[in-house]
Structure 1
Amino acid sequence: MELKACRDRSIKIREQYHQLEERFHGSRWTVEEDTLAFLTDAGLVGRLTMAAQGRWPSEEKDRLAAKIGECVWWLAVLSQRQDLDFAACVEQFLEEKEKELKE
């Protein structure tokens, strides 16, 4: 999947969650709350990776792929909420690392 398509689909899904937040809580989550949710999922990637490697007891090892996908989703959403181009963020990072590693 192209990063632009990933971003576009992610934003549509996030909008649906915003509607649920407004209905159940009277307001949308802030960007800070979204960031905390991302960090929670990133932590779960760590635990599920440890579980998959036999280093942490868990019955939910099969959730690792979905949690990795959810973290990418959050990053697409967070970049949009910060007025950043998701694909450009990834491209810039990769270019910087490639340049650093060539030196």
Structure 2
Amino acid sequence: MDFQHMQDRARTVRARYAEVEAATYGRSWTTEEIMLGFLGDVGDLAKLVQGKAGVRPREDLDGALAHELADCLWSVLTLADAYDVDLAGAFASTMDELQESLSMP
């Protein structure tokens, strides 16, 4: 799946969440609430990384880790979309900057 397809799918899922939130709570989540959800996902991811290190073992660790990484990616894609960030472009330029800073003189 290419990046644009990922962004489109994230946008479609976010739109559906907004519908469900509006029906359930009378409004959809704000970007701040999406960010708070992302923080919760990052916390869950941290626990799974500890599991991979043997500190917090659990069944189906690999599947749970893959799922949580995907959840986190969805949040990043959704926040980038909400703030009109060209994430693909920002990623490319950031990687260029990092590679340049790591170059040997």
Instruction: Tell me the TM-score normalised to structure 2 length.
Output: 0.89
Q: Could you tell me how far 1:15 is from its partner in structure 2?
A: 0.4
Q: Could you tell me how far 1:85 is from its partner in structure 2?
A: 1.2
1:16-45 Cα distance to aligned partner (Å, 9 max, x none)? 000000000000100000011111111111
Question: After the TM superposition, which parts of structure 1 deviate over 6 Å for at least 4 consecutive aligned residues?
Answer: none
Aligned-residue Cα RMSD (Å) equals: 1.4
Q: Does 1:38 align with 2:55?
A: no
- Map of 1:87 onto structure 2: 88
- Supply the AA of the counterpart residue of 2:50: M
Q: Is the 8 A contact 1:34 1:78 kept in 2?
A: yes
Partner SS for 2:102? helix
What's the % identity of the aligned pairs? Answer: 29
Q: Is the 8 A contact 1:3 1:87 kept in 2?
A: yes
1:21-77 Cα distance to aligned partner (Å, 9 max, x none)? 000000010000001111111111111011122112444523110100111111110
Q: Could you tell me how far 1:9 is from its partner in structure 2?
A: 0.7
The correspondence of residues 66-85 of structure 1 with structure 2, limited to 5 A, is 66-85=67-86
Q: How many pairs align?
A: 103
Q: Is the 8 A contact 1:48 1:60 kept in 2?
A: no
Q: Could you tell me how far 1:7 is from its partner in structure 2?
A: 0.6
* Structure 2 unaligned spans of 5+: none
- Supply the AA of the counterpart residue of 1:49: V
**Larger RCO (CA under 8 A, 6+ residues apart):** 1
- Supply the AA of the counterpart residue of 2:29: W
- Supply the AA of the counterpart residue of 1:43: G
* Structure 1 unaligned spans of 5+: none
Instruction: Tell me the TM-score normalised to structure 1 length.
Output: 0.91
